[in-house]
Structure 1
Amino acid sequence: MKKGKQVGDDNEPPSYQEATAGYDEMEAQFAWDDKTIRRTFIRKVYAILMVQLLVTVAIVSLFSFCAPVRFFIQTHPSLYMASYLMFFATYIALSCCGELRRQFPWNIILLVLFTLSMAFMMGFVSSFYNTKSVVLCLGITTLVCLSVTVFSFQTKIDVTSCHGVLFSLCMVMLLCAITLSIVVPFGYVPWLHALYAVGGAILFTLFLAFDTQLLLGNKRYTISPEEYVFATLSLYLDIIYLFSFLLQIMGGGRR
């Protein structure tokens, strides 16, 4: 009888406490691993972004401060069209081809071409504004980006849940752009263009907060750590478009 009882006890299933004894440790380990991966992802994105911005600032400064380069660029607008075609092609490849933007080294090559083409376009546009305006807009863009980044890291407001609002604002901006394209042939309206530029600057400031919170991964919507190229692309475009709209608002043409 004793022997049979002992065998029966050995065949009894484990209790809940025994079965889940190591669960808390495993959950803590998984959470720690996820945070480590996310931090590495954030550092990688911002490292690439800083290189992109430094290259862009260098090209914009060259086109704005160096008179011979500025004259050459302004007298050869075909270079702008070529850079625009390269920008469009690389943007489509990086945005629509998920496997391509995750495949090394093609993702880095496309990102380099994209950055150079966008930097060339911004340098071309900046060459038509006086240097004081360009420097002022660069400084304001830097302050806005730092403020939005600190806000996105510290706030409890979930900007990622407002994607519907951002989409609606994009549609409004599109309709305004169509309206401006119709109005421009009949005469330049300064206050209308200034109003459009203010709206664009506000919109891409919101997009910068949205994409930053997607990067952090602690809100309703997040971006996968595998998509570091796409995350960098999004932040870079937000900053560039913010700078271009600020240049339209405060930039003065060369005399």
Structure 2
Amino acid sequence: MKIELEISEPIDFGSGDHQYLVRKAGDDSSKPNKPYKASASAVPKQSSAKPRPKTGEPANSYVVEISEETNTENNSVDPFSDTAIRRAFIIKVFLILSAQLVITGMIISIFIFWKDLRVWVHNNPWFTYTLLPAFFVVLILLACCGDLRRQVPANYILLSLFTILEGLLLGTVSVFYEAEEVLWATAATAMVTFLLTLFAVQTKWDFTVLSGVLFVVVFVLIIFGLLIIFIRSYWLRLVYAALGTVVFSVYLVVDVQLMVGGRHRHSQLDPEEYVFAALNIYMDVINIFIFILQLFGLGQ
């Protein structure tokens, strides 16, 4: 709100006379906008200094802007302010994640120890290509449809279907490696996951601020992976596998800190997003496993 004040008498702003004018203008703010003229009798205190007004010059005009006070406080309530809610959320996420990893491990074990199935997968590559579209459709539904992944039992059904499809895909990948390499990669992934989870919970560093940077790095990693399909180089594949392991290890720390919340700035998950939290950590673990498996395969 802007109010124009026209001063017909010279006013010394150093003596505090303007404060009276501002108060008077605020009282008349509800009236139609018109210049307010302050006479000598309206001013409670005259300035001790006597400036010499020049004849013929118009009266000095001042524009005073009075803004209404706005309440900038954030009245939103953090649903995780209750420790019991946060603890129940973390327990639910880890239970779901454990079930996913157990199911995935069982499916991979069938592929690597059933010799006839290994031969069949080698001779029928169409099986892998059929799984990929279904896998991405379910992943998009879980990642993009927030209302769907909060509805029970639809969220559990989709997550179970996604876990089975992921296990089948990993099984088709594992048949191209020796059983010993797969087992060593599984053990290494389990150890890395456990240590990074402890680190994410205990450290004072806030890794959630790196979410945007990691998103860009993953795109660069995808382009790098497409290049090494056409450029057959042992060292490029080794660098790609090592870089992928590091990137998704950091992603695991970020997603764990998003889940545990607390002092981390960008921990904004909702208590109903336990499926989404479990899905993020599960994908981090699976990607770490895939890159570590490549490292073991290149090391042979």
TM-score above 0.5, yes or no: yes
Task: Map 1:94-109 onto structure 2 (within 5 A).
Answer: 94-109=142-157
The Cα of 1:253 is off from its aligned counterpart by: 10
1:225 lines up with 2:271 in the alignment: yes
- CA deviations on 1:123-151 (whole Å, 9 max, x unpaired) are 11001100111011000000000000000
Residue equivalent to 1:47: 95
The Cα of 1:172 is off from its aligned counterpart by: 2.5
Larger radius of gyration: 2
C-alpha distance in 2 between matches for 1:153 and 1:227 = 19
The Cα of 1:82 is off from its aligned counterpart by: 2.1
Residue equivalent to 2:44: none
| 2:129 aligns with one of 81, 97, 118 | 81
With a CA cutoff of 8 Å and minimum separation of 6, indicate the structure with the bigger relative contact order. 1
C-alpha distance in 2 between matches for 1:89 and 1:208 = 23
Letter in structure 1 aligned against 2:104: T
Greater fraction strand? 2
Task: Map 1:28-39 onto structure 2 (within 5 A).
Answer: 34-39=82-87
Residue equivalent to 2:259: 215
Residue equivalent to 2:172: 124
Letter in structure 2 aligned against 1:221: H
| 1:235 aligns with one of 256, 259, 281 | 281
Residue equivalent to 1:9: none
What TM-score results when the alignment is normalised by the length of structure 1? Answer: 0.82
C-alpha distance in 2 between matches for 1:253 and 1:85 = 32
1:56 lines up with 2:56 in the alignment: no
The Cα of 1:190 is off from its aligned counterpart by: 1.0
3-state SS, counterpart of residue 147 of structure 2: helix
Identity value in percent: 39
Residue equivalent to 1:202: 246
CA contact (8 A) 2:104 2:164 kept: yes
CA contact (8 A) 1:63 1:123 kept: yes
Residue equivalent to 2:294: 248
C-alpha distance in 2 between matches for 1:144 and 1:55 = 20
- CA deviations on 1:80-138 (whole Å, 9 max, x unpaired) are 12221221010000011111111111111110110000000001100110011101100
CA contact (8 A) 1:130 1:253 kept: no
- The farther-off stretch of 140-149 and 31-40 is 31-40
| 2:202 aligns with one of 149, 154, 166 | 154
C-alpha distance in 1 between matches for 2:184 and 2:161 = 27
The Cα of 1:166 is off from its aligned counterpart by: 1.3
C-alpha distance in 1 between matches for 2:133 and 2:117 = 21
3-state SS, counterpart of residue 152 of structure 2: coil
CA contact (8 A) 1:128 1:253 kept: no
The Cα of 1:249 is off from its aligned counterpart by: 1.1
User: Which ranges of structure 1 fall in alignment gaps of 5 or more residues?
Assistant: 1-29
- The farther-off stretch of 139-148 and 219-228 is 219-228
Residue equivalent to 1:110: 158
User: Which ranges of structure 2 fall in alignment gaps of 5 or more residues?
Assistant: 1-77
Q: What count of residue pairs does the alignment treat as equivalent?
A: 221
Greater fraction helix? 1
Residue equivalent to 2:235: 191
CA contact (8 A) 2:79 2:271 kept: no
What TM-score results when the alignment is normalised by the length of structure 2? Answer: 0.70
C-alpha distance in 2 between matches for 1:250 and 1:97 = 37
Residue equivalent to 1:10: none
CA contact (8 A) 2:100 2:282 kept: yes
C-alpha distance in 1 between matches for 2:226 and 2:120 = 32
The Cα of 1:33 is off from its aligned counterpart by: 6.5
Letter in structure 2 aligned against 1:189: S
- CA deviations on 1:40-85 (whole Å, 9 max, x unpaired) are 0110111011011001111111111111121222222222122212
